[in-house]
Chains A and B, each alone.
Chain A
Amino acid sequence: MREAELEEQRTGRGHAVRYVVVWAMLLVLTATTYLTSRADLGSWNIVLALIIAGVKAGLVALFFMHLSEQQGVNRMVFVVSLAFVALLIGLAVTDLATRTRTALPPGYPEAPPDRQGVQQRGHQRQSGEQLRR
């Protein structure tokens, strides 16, 4: 960071333009994520949306938050925190995904999901569980 700043002071050129470029990219990505969400891509919709959000977050972190100029330890703090976030969400969802159906809360649509029947069955299960208690 020091070197870049000294270089900049010597040449007298600011890099404010860089922020505007990043901002424009963020707006383009926002438009992209909005437009792609209109298209029906099945389960790829959320994957694509998360990838775009990840790229946007990367741009903000690297340039607006100057992570690209930070020294080792500060970068590590951020990366480690992201690893823990992934661990938390990943394990929690894996836990749910590998449970048997009966352990899931009332209202959960039984396979295969049947749009009309879901609500009714949900209520039946709920009242059934209340009886058991």
Chain B
Amino acid sequence: MSSVSAPAADHFPSREVAHHAARMGMWLFLASELLLFAGLFTGYGAYRYLYPEVWAQASKHLDVVLGTVNTVVLITSSLTVALGVHFAQRGKNRMTLLVLGVSIALGLAFLGIKGVEYGHKIAEGALPGRFYSYEGLQLPGASMFFSVYFLTTGLHGVHVVIGLAVLCWLSWKAWRGEFSRERHLAMELGGLYWHLVDLVWIFLYPLLYLV
């Protein structure tokens, strides 16, 4: 499938090889992202092991309803991004733009709900370290749970914001009609990033809110 519309850079024998290399680069980047989050998950595991009582009780102080709604919102946005890749691969720019718009709306909804949750926690004083002043849970190590909570969801939230910026950029490309059967690599790789954000949340949700 050699095409004049999307030539490969000179050092690649073909566009196919170039795309394979690009995908691999993206997967390497995602692997490094996984390890970045793994550091925080390790902290979670260590402190959960040290303060089992705190973990059992503190997780009940999180809002399970908001957490579950956010999970559904994020999973649905992953679906719409997957559909975006699907349409971009077929050169259907208008459909791509539509599903990306839905994805961006869902991403913003996720951040909004997260903001409401943070607001509750800040009002209660359920904050990390020495800022902890929550009356409802006074156990040694209680502030550690909320340190881990804010660090993991905070880093995840930063990734949602970056993901949203990427989705906006892809929407702009779709609006200009840049995607075609030959040219859709950007959508594919941008989509991968968004799915990673979803992937991390899939683990954060049960670990923080449920168990």
CA distance A10 to B51 in the complex (A): 59
Contact B45 A92 (CB under 8 A): yes
Contact with B28, one of A49, A61, A77 (Cβ below 8 angstroms): A77
Q: Does B162 make an interface contact (CB < 8 A)? A: no
Q: Within residues 25 to 67 of chain A, which ones have a CB less than 8 A from any CB in chain B? A: 26-27, 30, 33-34, 37, 45-46, 49-50, 52-53, 56-57, 60-61, 63-66
- Chain A nearest CB from B49 CB (Å) reads 5
Are A20 and B206 within 8 A (Cβ)? no
From residue 69 to 125 of chain B, which have CB atoms closer than 8 A to chain A? 71-72, 75-76, 78-79, 81-83, 85-86, 89-90
The complex places the Cα of A45 from the Cα of B55 at a distance, in Å, of 13
Contact of A88 among B1, B38, B210 (CB under 8 A): B38
| Contact among B35, B49, B83, B206 for A16, CB-based, below 8 A | B83
Min CB–CB distance A1 → chain B (angstroms): 10
- The contact of B31 among A14, A53, A77, by CB within 8 Å, is A77
B192 within 8 A of A: yes
Residues of B within 8 A of A60 (CB): 78, 195, 198-199, 202
Given the known inter-chain contacts A19-B86, A60-B198, please indicate yes or no for A74 contacting B140, CB distance below 8 A.
no
- Whether the pair A113, B52 counts as a contact (CB closer than 8 A) is yes
Candidates A14, A82, A126; contact of B86 at CB < 8 Å? A14
Task: Output the residue of A20, A46, A64, A104 with the most chain B CB within 10 A.
Answer: A64
Asked whether, in the complex, the Cβ of B210 is within 8 Å of the Cβ of A33, the reply is yes
The answer, among A23, A96, A97, A113, for a CB contact under 8 Å with B76, is: A23
Closest to A73 in B: B24
Question: Are A118 and B139 also in contact (CB < 8 A) when A89-B41, A92-B45 are?
Answer: yes
A105 within 8 A of B: yes
Q: Is the Cβ of A53 less than 8 Å from the Cβ of B38? A: no
**Distance in Å: Cβ of B123 to nearest Cβ of chain A:** 24
Interface residues in B121-144 by Cβ distance below 8 A to A read 138-141
A32 to chain B, nearest CB (A): 11
Q: Mark out the residues of chain B between 1 and 51 whose CB falls within 8 Å of any chain A CB in the assembled complex.
A: 1, 20, 23-24, 27-28, 30-32, 34-35, 38-39, 41-42, 45-46, 49-51
B139 near A30: Cβ-Cβ < 8 Å: no
Q: B141 near A37 (CB under 8 angstroms)? A: no
Residue contact B46 to A96, C-beta cutoff 8 Å: yes
The CA of A127 and the CA of B204, in the complex, are separated in Å by 34
Residues in B neighbouring A85, C-beta threshold 8 A: 34-35, 38, 41
Q: A34-B68, A77-B31 are in contact. Are A64 and B78 (CB under 8 A)?
A: yes
Q: Can you name the residue of chain B whose Cβ is closest to the Cβ of A65?
A: B195
Assess whether B178 is interfacial by the CB under 8 Å rule: no
Q: How many angstroms from the CA of A108 to the CA of B144 in the assembled complex?
A: 12
Question: Is B63 positioned at the interface, with any CB of A under 8 Å from its CB?
Answer: no
The 10 nearest A-B residue pairs measured at CB: A107-B140, A81-B31, A122-B140, A37-B210, A49-B206, A23-B79, A85-B38, A77-B27, A46-B211, A64-B82
Interface of B with A (CB < 8 Å)?
1, 20, 23-24, 27-28, 30-32, 34-35, 38-39, 41-42, 45-46, 49-53, 64, 68, 71-72, 75-76, 78-79, 81-83, 85-86, 89-90, 138-141, 188, 191-192, 195-196, 198-199, 202-203, 205-207, 210-211
